[in-house]
Structure 1
């Protein structure tokens, strides 16, 4: 699974892409969010976080497999 990071998520992790360590798996978006918050506690401070799986916005029940491309889309502000 390839995880692409943008904006503040990239700053939190310190790189633009992330992969789960060998032996760790997540089955859906909700599990991925839990894993991210455990590994990078600053994710708990985000007011919202959109996640796309294979270029489509996903809800917490969306399944993720090892071939999925996941993008973390942080909140944005505009004016």
Structure 2
């Protein structure tokens, strides 16, 4: 399955790109599994997307949890929690 990835703010700075098209293996079926798949790249990918780090995720521009299913051509986005005032 092919998906679009988007990275924002400090996540984008850490991984060095704002977007990427990625073909994931058949066993990658959820947003959380995409995150785990990207962690396997090692280095800054593993560190930036590590479990336990404050990280927000979205699928097709809707905030989501790790168990949300992905679909062909969908967009998965990663970004830090947003604060403001």
What's the TM-score, normalizing by structure 2?
0.74
Counterpart of 2:46 in structure 1 is 41
2:31/2:76 contact within 8 Å kept: no
Paired residue for 1:66, among 72, 78, 85?
72
| Structure 1 CA distance for aligned equivalents of residues 29 and 68 of structure 2 | 8
Q: Residues 5-41 of structure 1: CA distance to partner in whole angstroms, max 9, x if unpaired?
A: 1011111221110222x4x332101101111222112
Q: Which runs of 5 or more structure 1 residues have no equivalent in the other structure?
A: none
Q: Residues 39-73 of structure 1: CA distance to partner in whole angstroms, max 9, x if unpaired?
A: 11222287311111011111111011221111112
What's the TM-score, normalizing by structure 1?
0.78
CA RMSD of aligned residues (A): 2.1
